Structure 1
Amino acid sequence: MKKKFLGLGCLGIGIIAIIVIAVGGIVFYVNTNNTLVDMKGQATKQWANVESSYQRRSDLIGNLVKTVQGAADFERGTLKDVIEARSKATSTTIDANNLTPEKLAAFQQAQSGLSSALSRLLVTVERYPDLKSNQNFLELQSQLEGTENRINVERNRFNDLAGEYNIKIEKIPTNLIANIAGFEGMALFSSKPGAEDAPDVDFNFD
């Protein structure tokens, strides 16, 4: 009889141990999943800030184009390039929940194309003294410079948050939960040498 009770006691302890382990596993899963949801959410929110900054730049360039169009005999081909590049840049968007390297590369390429077209436009402006002294033009200069800096800041913040998230889902044992729950890595902005500096948008050619 004593052995029987001893056996039942060991069985009870074993069941309790299994329950404790199971509950601990569930708690770990829930906590880890919530942490990943929060980290990805912060990175996704920051991506919205990146897009907002690029949209701000696009709006300013649109105003710049309107100002330049008012100049007599201004090179229409140069304006056309900017307008087309701006259209491509604004139409190239990415779902924040599907930030693949390929899609981010296409986004960066479109934005770079707009930067290049804008640079060519600004060089052409040098031949138009009246346009260079236009107060609206000068105001756009200041706003564009500030926006380029803001884009750089927002991109760096995104890379920081998305990078931390990417590292988290690769670490053991978090990677097990990430695989089960379907958490995938987020693509990061990459840059060419010198790309960390905001493009030169100085309208003063004196």
Structure 2
Amino acid sequence: MSKHLDMDLERLHRSLLRMAGYVEDAVVTAATALQARDPDGCARVIAGDADIDRLENEVQDECLKILALHQPVAVDLRRVSAVLMITTDLERIGDMAVGIAERAAVVARAPYVPIPEAIGGMTRRTLEMLRASLDAFVHLDTTAACRVIRADDEVDRDNAEIIQGLIARMQAEPHLVEPAMSLFTAVRHLERIADHATNIAEDVIYLVRGEMVRHHPEVLSPP
């Protein structure tokens, strides 16, 4: 039984990483399309969301089969539970990428609105958090997971700064309200992606330590 469980857990691990690759590509493409005002990139992200949804269903089905067939306990049960939670966050990140792509398509049209320079830095930090949270899962690295959680404050500061600037622009130039609101929404989606990356990092800590750290910042210090 243990050998079959190990094989199924390894297959589950590979399936989750395949889904993560699709999601990361979607976020990168959407963010690039926003900066480049690229409607074709936007369309690719939107069309690709069905693949992410399909992979979510496949991973969740694998999790349920493992639970039913093997009735795992201890760390194996935590691994399956963590994968279920991470899969949900990845699917929502995919949805956020679609949201960015949809807003980027509006920004690409007239009237022209300048894209705040700070969005580039916020995008880089958000992608670093996403990649680091997934690396932490692969390597079971709680120290890296804690760094991801702490990095969310910086993205929140980026979000507040950019939103404030966009509100000022809309007040000064009412004819830019529509594209500026699309930028506003895209930035909020980036901030939410960082939140979901934080959730993944918290799930890694749960997997390794057996501790639920969400809403408990006092336990975030490395062991």
In the superposition, the TM-score normalised over structure 1's length comes to 0.44
In the superposition, the TM-score normalised over structure 2's length comes to 0.41
Higher helix share: 2
